[in-house]
Amino acid sequence: MTFFARAERAVLADALLAAGPDAPTLCEGWATRDLAAHIVLRERRPDAAAGIALKSAAGHMRRVQDRLAAGDYPALVDRVRTPPLLLRPAFMEEAMNLVEFFIHTEDVRRASGDWAPRELPADHERALASWAGRSAKRSARRFPARILVKTPGTEPLTVGPGEGEPALTIEGAPGELLMFFTGRQGAAAVEITGPDDLAEQLRGARLGI
């Protein structure tokens, strides 16, 4: 089995280093140093990472992340580049970080507005495709219409509440669908067909976790 998260880790670290510490990202309120600090915190500070899910721990998480972000930026990016011991096995890295690192790489690459989708090998695209389907199901569960999700090389998937024929069709590469259904609609190269009002509602919906 081929794994891709380790390669995505390297691409992300390269993108962070090339952008510099104060470049914008698609993560609202975060510069590149904040994004790098988030990744290090998530992997290496479980006491603070609890704040990602628990409001009671959010203050501690912010304080730790701010301290990490204020430190030496190349050293911080080097910690992003080097997986912690727990994630040295490739299968652990794949399960935890394939989607995380792909999305955050694009958060850096696409924030300037001058970007093009990366060309990925077919097996890399297939690895992202299964995650794109899961993301679409989760994100569209409260959208008031059925959506047909199409990506090359996989069976179309219908998501959204209720039954009946889909009102919208969204089509794109797996990575573009991941960007779209994790709340980055404005920076995703997808095609939506269907009623204009519903299409606009989907583009402006609050998607993601």
Q: Which residues pair with 168 in a beta bridge?
A: 147
| Residue 95 or 88, more confident | 95
User: Which letter does DSSP use for residue 85 in this model?
Assistant: G
Angle between helices 5-19 and 73-81 (to 10 degrees): 170
pLDDT digit string (tens) for 18-31? 999 999 999 999 99
Among residues 124, 127, 99, 126, the alpha carbon closest in space to that of 184 is found at 99
Nearest to 52 by CA among 33, 69, 65, 36: 65
Q: Write down the pLDDT at residue 209.
A: 60
Q: Residue 43 pLDDT > 90, yes or no?
A: yes
Domains of the chain with bracketed CATH: 5-109 (no CATH), 122-204 (3.30.1050.20)
- Beta-carbon-side half-sphere exposure of residue 63 (alpha carbons within 13 Å): 6
User: Band of the pLDDT at 86, cuts 50, 70, 90?
Assistant: confident
44 pLDDT exceeds 80?
A: yes
Whether residue 1 is predicted with pLDDT greater than 80 in this model: the reply is no
The Cα 120–Cα 132 span in angstroms is 15
Q: What does the pLDDT look like over 93-111, one tens digit per residue?
A: 898 899 999 999 999 999 9
Do residues 125 and 178 make contact, with C-beta atoms less than 8 angstroms apart? no
